A and B are shown apart, each in its own frame.
Chain A
Amino acid sequence: MNYQFDFEALLPYWQSFLQGATTTIQMTVVAVAIGLVIGVLCAIARRSAYPWLRLIVGIYIEIVRNTPFIVQIFFIFFGLSSMGITMPVFFASVFAMVINVGAYTAEIVRAGMEAVHPSQIEAAEALGLSRFQIYRDIILMPSIERVYPALTSQFILMMLSTSITSQISAEELTGVANNIQSYTFRSFETYIVIALIYLAITYLLRAGFHAIALAIFPRRRRLGTPL
């Protein structure tokens, strides 16, 4: 093995790397924010009194969770364009990500909701809380707090999955890297560099989620321990 590593060839492109990393984070934040809302709504729908609603949401969750993200992206992106609907790659990617995050979030939040003891809800009813208050304060917030670690690791997995959107030529970190390696012919170095950038984003997001947890959950306790 007499390969000469040449990371200097990549230096002129640092702005592109930065741009790609920013896009990756933007896509993740938007998709996670919308996906979280959809996921929570689906988790509530999974507990609804209407069997047809439970069934539809159940089918959505199982289909998304049991097929690869890359196939979902191709299905949505090429499928929509075959129908004549074209949209910017950024939106198509975020759209696919939202659908994906929504299903996983729904399943995780539902697990948290099932762990809420019925006596807590009865106690809340006895105190005269409204249905909305019960859902928000007794069921939803404590269950999100309970499943917070699982939820955030799912979001970080989603951030890593944004790399797949480069396959429909989204200009996020991996897409940028694909371009740079074709200019510089330094593919090995390029992918090592962006692997490190992804690692950095992972830690950044973890720190961010931890800060959010400290801000929104009133109790100061170790996350993930029993309530």
Chain B
Amino acid sequence: MDGFSTNHLIYLLNGLLWTVVLSALAFVLGGVAGFFVMLARTSHMRWLRRLSLIYVQIIQGTPLLILMFVIYFGLGVVGVELPPLMAAGVGMMIYSSAYLGEIWRGCVESVPRTQFEAAECLALTRWQILVDVILPQALRIATPPTVGFMVQLVKNTSLASVVGFVELTRAAQVINNSLFQPFLIFGIAAAFYFCVCYPLSLWSRSLERKLNVGRR
């Protein structure tokens, strides 16, 4: 049995690349979907608010792992053959849309009520109120928690390994199955995740500090 070689390291680095790709995909797609979830959650129409609330509650009340399984097996049942990247991407997108939508709803609602009222008095349309008055203010509040959520997202891409997508965790598992040096291999994998997540954590924290200075 051979020891850990550079080939294994390259395989892990390749896994890391796919982890980053999947995270980016989840963030961009989930961000777009999350924007609509936020719109629906703050809508004037009661049924739309209810419906989006149910959506968010279901996604936040079930494990991502189960969501992955449902999509993986569900798509197979419907007869759609998606490549693993897309299947994992769809799962991550649904997951992040619910969380981002809920985070952003909180940010929109923390913009003072009077701002909405003043904008309405100026006869701005719904869309103008949102784009020109509310979003610029909400964006400032939303940045730190959004960056913080990106850490969650990167970590949760590890669950894509269960539906056979070869990202960092799966790559580590594959290597561990042949070498059985779990401390070394999962230690390296953990270090890789740490290198991606820790800068994001620090960034989120410093953004938060800056924001607090502005509001104090």
Q: Which residues of A contact B (CB under 8 A)?
A: 1, 3, 62-63, 65-72, 74-75, 78-79, 81-82, 160-164, 166-167, 174, 181, 187-188, 191-192, 194-195, 198-199, 202-203
Contact = CB atoms under 8 A, between A and B. Distances in A.
B26 to A, nearest CB: 14
Contacts of B182: 74-75, 78-79, 81-82
Interface string B122-161: 0000000000000000000000000000010001101101
B163 to A, nearest CB: 12
Nearest to B194: A66
Interface string B48-71: 000000000110111111110110
A74 B186 contact: yes
Contacts, number: 114
Contacts of A163: 63, 65-66
10 contacts: A1-B78, A63-B194, A65-B201, A82-B180, A160-B63, A163-B65, A195-B62, A198-B63, A202-B60, A203-B61
Which of A68, A75, A160, A191 has the largest number of chain B CB atoms within 10 A?
A68
A174 B63 contact: yes
B69 A191 contact: yes
A71 B162 contact: no
Nearest to B191: A67
Contact of B73 (A1, A166, A187): A187
B96 to A, nearest CB: 14
Contacts of A198: 61-63, 66
Contacts of A66: 151, 155, 193-194, 197-198, 201
Which of B158, B172, B186, B194 has the largest number of chain A CB atoms within 10 A?
B186
Contacts of A69: 155, 158
Given A82-B180, A161-B63, A188 B74 contact: yes
B79 interface: yes
Given A62-B198, A66-B151, A188 B169 contact: no
B17 interface: no
Contact of B65 (A164, A181, A199): A164
Contacts of A82: 180-183
A179 B71 CA distance: 18
Interface in B39-97: 57-58, 60-67, 69-70, 73-74, 77-79
5 smallest beta-carbon distances between A and B, as pairs: A78-B182, A68-B158, A66-B197, A163-B63, A202-B61
Which of B176, B181, B182, B189 has the largest number of chain A CB atoms within 10 A?
B182
Contacts of B118: none
B187 interface: yes
Interface string B173-212: 1001000111100110110011001100100000000000
Contacts of A195: 58, 62, 66-67, 70
Given A65-B151, A67-B155, A71-B190, 11 more contacts: A1-B79, A62-B201, A65-B201, A68-B159, A69-B158, A71-B193, A74-B169, A75-B187, A188-B73, A198-B61, A202-B61
A156 to B, nearest CB: 8
A199 B61 CA distance: 5
A224 B177 CA distance: 47
